[in-house]
Amino acid sequence: MRKLIVVTGGAGFIGSALVWKLNQLGEENILIVDSLRESEKWKNISGLSFRDYLEKDDFLSRLTAGSWSGEIAAIFHLGACSSTTEKDIRYLIKNNYEYTKTLAAHCAAGGVRFIYASSAATYGDGRQGYRDDEDEIDRLRPLNGYGFSKQLFDLWARREGLLNRIAGLKYFNVFGPNEYHKGDMRSMICKGFEQIQATGRLRLFKSEKPEYGDGEQERDFVYVKDAVTMTAYFYQHPDKNGLFNIGTGRAHTWNTLAGAIFAALEKPVKIDYIPLPDHLRGKYQYHTQAETGRLRGAGCAAPFTPLKEAVRDYVQNYLIPGAYLENIKSE
């Protein structure tokens, strides 16, 4: 039997898609770790192939007690509080930073492959650029507590000399199936689909910067199917270590994204521009665009799905009535 692969956050958005991808690669000896509570995330893993499920606190206590000694090939650590509006910094430190440190230290001591989710939120407003160069990360200034918690671990891993043995993946704006449970953190494709179906219209934020028109703020949008292909690459190539952007290297405006959603639904474009909420002022990113030189330099040559094509696949094959809660496993 192959050694065990652990996926924390494995019932979540990117995590469940990663389990789907690992299944495609013939991997089924998988331990999914998450915190289900009263969420609907369990639907994301129903029908996927895996060995077992554990709650995150049970997993950590058993891991540090010596369970699975010598049995684990890799830990994909995707579990975190990913809310960019979370204000309880103490919770973020404990959940996103301290938990990750414990896992990383355990993997380093036992020779277990460790691949973890960092975030493009560490880049803040982008004035320091979007280079995934660990020598420059101390210059970054995240705009929210979530980005700060991810930045803390990146800095700790560099300080402890671990970045030459582990892979940290800075995901940009990932969208796709299995995100329905994320509430306000769902992508605009998911939320916009609901708005258009209900009203025929879609809401976007007005710009508060003169250099950007309304809806002309830009993001690097990444389809989850592409994101997990690249995540799995770092399991298949354990010699590729350090920080890597998981982004397309192209920025698209919210207006372009909105147009792709309307096109997928075969409806006319109707957009309402609304004021930026108070809680996002000073914390809103107007432009993100991954630099992908290190990713490609590491040999990861998988192509990214063009935005319009990815949105069409997501909308027509997953978000249409009758398919909204269908899992990515259906392929």
- Give the catalytic positions in this structure: 146, 182
d(CA 14, CA 18): 6
CA distances from 204 to 253, 254, 259, 263 (A): 11, 7, 12, 17
d(CA 27, CA 85): 35
Q: Which of 278, 258, 281, 283 is nearest to 268 (CA)?
A: 258
Grouping H, G, I as helix, E, B as strand and the rest as coil, residue 170 is strand
The secondary structure of 52-111 as a DSSP string is EEEEHHHHHHHHHTTTTTTTEEEEEE--S---TT---HHHHIIIIIIHHHHHHHHHHHHT
b/e code 210-225 from CB counts within 10 Å (16+ = b): eebebbbbbbbbbbbb
